[in-house]
């Protein structure tokens, strides 16, 4: 059974979350501060963590960083709305998604499912399809519309695979760097170059990209169904 670690110092909210997720058939582990959360994580190795940022003592960022240093356990952050910096920081640290409080049970369940699905998808299967892009990761081949096909380099393949896995979401620069080169390698210059090379390989008009969009100051995203006339 899928185990979910829920971490929130607001006990009422934590109970609500636990109740919601239990009803969906998940097994719930509860923590109310960062320290016990880390202990619990280490002992139980849950399949996913739902993590509030504002925790006493060890805060959510610390927990996130610590977990990411040791494993890939998916993490969903709980943040207050309009704290954009928290969200970006969290995603930079490797969180997989976030939910802004207040949220509905349905939203929560949907996110948990989506993140779990992405996590399981990332492993197995050799190819994935998004819009008219089909990426064969094992052979590093990209076909567009079953017509043109390109051979990608290893880095290009990793970047595009990650973008496709998170299609239509904007990935922060640091998150991309971490996923392509691993933590604490790679820098922004390298990512810029990589994006540039990937674009000039796959975009019909590389200076007016339709697949890979830039969100200045934030990062990049893959557009699933691009308008032709963009």
Catalog residues that contact DNA under the rule CB under 7 A: 151, 153-156, 173, 181, 186-190, 192-197, 199-200, 206-207, 214, 216-218
Shortest distance, position 89 Cβ to DNA, whole Å: 14
Task: Give dist(CA 117, CA 121) in Å, integer.
Answer: 6
Give Cα separations from 74 to 5, 51, 97, 98, 173 (angstroms): 10, 10, 9, 11, 19
Interaction partner, residue 197 (DNA, a second copy, none; CB < 5-8 Å by kind): DNA
Stretch (H or E) spanning 213: strand 212-215
Report residue 79 as tokens. Answer: 């943040």
Nearest CA to 62 out of 83, 89, 99, 97 is that of: 89
24 binds a second copy (CB under 8 A): yes
37: left (phi over 0), alpha (psi -120 to 50) or beta: alpha
For a second copy, the closer of residues 11 and 153 by Cβ is 153
Interaction partner, residue 84 (a second copy, DNA, none; CB < 5-8 Å by kind): a second copy
150 binds a second copy (CB under 8 A): no
Among 12, 57, 102, 154, interactor with a second copy by CB under 8 A? 154
Report residue 35 as tokens. Answer: 């320290």
Sites of contact with a second copy (CB under 8 A): 2, 24-25, 45, 68-72, 81-82, 84, 87-88, 91-94, 99-100, 107, 110-111, 113-114, 116-117, 121-130, 137-140, 153-154, 157-158, 161-162, 165, 167-170, 179, 215, 217-218, 221, 224
């Amino acid at each position: 059974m899928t185990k979910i670690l829920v971490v929130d110092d607001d006990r009422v909210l934590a109970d609500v979350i636990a109740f919601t997720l239990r009803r969906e058939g998940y097994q719930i582990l509860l923590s109310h501060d960062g320290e016990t959360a880390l202990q619990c994580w280490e002992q139980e190795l849950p399949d996913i963590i739902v993590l509030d940022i504002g925790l006493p003592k060890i805060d959510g960022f610390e927990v996130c960083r610590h977990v990411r240093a040791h494993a890939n356990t998916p993490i969903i952050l709980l943040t207050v709305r309009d704290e954009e910096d928290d969200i970006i920081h969290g995603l930079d640290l490797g969180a997989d998604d976030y939910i802004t409080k207040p949220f509905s049970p349905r939203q929560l369940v949907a996110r948990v499912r989506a993140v779990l699905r992405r996590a399981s998808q990332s492993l197995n299967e050799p190819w994935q399809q998004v819009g008219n892009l089909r990426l064969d990761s094992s052979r590093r081949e990209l076909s567009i519309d079953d017509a043109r096909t390109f051979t990608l380099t290893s880095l290009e393949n990793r970047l595009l695979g990650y973008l496709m896995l998170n299609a239509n979401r904007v990935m922060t620069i640091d998150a991309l760097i971490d996923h392509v080169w691993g933590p604490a390698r790679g820098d922004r210059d390298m990512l810029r170059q990589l994006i540039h090379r990937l674009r000039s390989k796959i975009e019909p008009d590389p200076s007016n990209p339709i697949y890979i969009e830039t969100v200045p100051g934030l990062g990049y995203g893959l557009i699933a169904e691009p308008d032709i006339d963009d």
